[in-house]
Chains A and B, each alone.
Chain A
Amino acid sequence: MKAKIKVTLKNGVLDPQGKAIEGALGSMGFGGVGSVRQGKYFEVDLTETDRAKAQTTLKAMCEKLIANTVIENYEIELS
């Protein structure tokens, strides 16, 4: 089973990297960019075949390591 995990900074957490990308896009001539927020993307291959169990394990992985829930949100997508 394959999982796709998206980790993004919570609203209100300053994202200087996103800001720098936003600035670069502007200076390259891309108009109309409101704002850019940078996040992280993970692909996890699981040997688990039970969807519910996989979901529980992935949630624990996100809570305990993949995301820092003080500053980040995560989304799990199971294929």
Chain B
Amino acid sequence: MKSAVITFPGINRERDMMMALEATTGIKPISVWHAEATLPDVDLVVVPGGFSYGDYLRCGAIAARSPIMADIKAKVLKGLKVLGVCNGFQIITEAGLLPGALVRNAGLKFVCREVRLKVENTNTYFTNKMAKGQIISCPVAHGEGNYICDAETLKELEGEGRVVFRYAEGSNPNGALNDIAGIVNAKGNVIGMMPHPENMIEPLHGKQDCLALFESLLAA
């Protein structure tokens, strides 16, 4: 599994993500600057978390129009796998790779804590080592993670099993519709999630609940 991690100005989780990918897949990911026009030859692109462009205009809005995004969009059509985490989820959603939008947390506060996630779909490149319905711990750190979409899109997401992660009961930190924490596109190659699995894989993280997510990449 060859991977690349995209860095935009204001992104701050790219090193955590690169360490997580290297530790779990055994291959050092390639770091790609957003101004590049073409991706290296990889199987997976990760758009990490942070505060690209200081969240100006809307979270992820300006990063979504970066030069590298055009090549990512073109290669997604040919099957390239993309994982967007936190600001990365906001960026790929703003870029139109996933439906809906991420808006201000219902409670208005930036939430930085551990939440419990329910794995709803284990038929993806990032969850195939998990059990359906499994509850895992994962940290969140965001001010705008409240997932919304129109009724028709919601019906489609739920009907097609495209909600990959849901905040477990009592764990929804942002008011997201149907407790949605992560979704996948119709083709199955683009996943976006608000929580940070890269920060729950080592003994020093306290728990290693998200290790199996990254190990899923090896079987994908």
Residues of A at the B interface (CB closer than 8 Å) are: 13-17, 20, 64-66, 68, 70-71
Contact = CB atoms under 8 A, between A and B. Distances in A.
B interface majority secondary structure? loop
Contact of B101 (A20, A64, A71): A71
Contacts of B99: 70
A14 to B, nearest CB: 6
Interface of B: 57-58, 61-62, 65, 94, 99-101, 103-108, 146, 148-150, 175
12 contacts: A13-B103, A13-B148, A14-B103, A14-B106, A14-B148, A15-B104, A16-B105, A16-B106, A17-B104, A20-B108, A68-B94, A70-B100
Residue of B58, B107, B150, B175 with most chain A CB atoms under a 10 A cut-off: B58
A8 to B, nearest CB: 13
A69 to B, nearest CB: 10
A16 B58 contact: no
Given A14-B103, A65-B57, A65-B65, A71 B108 contact: no
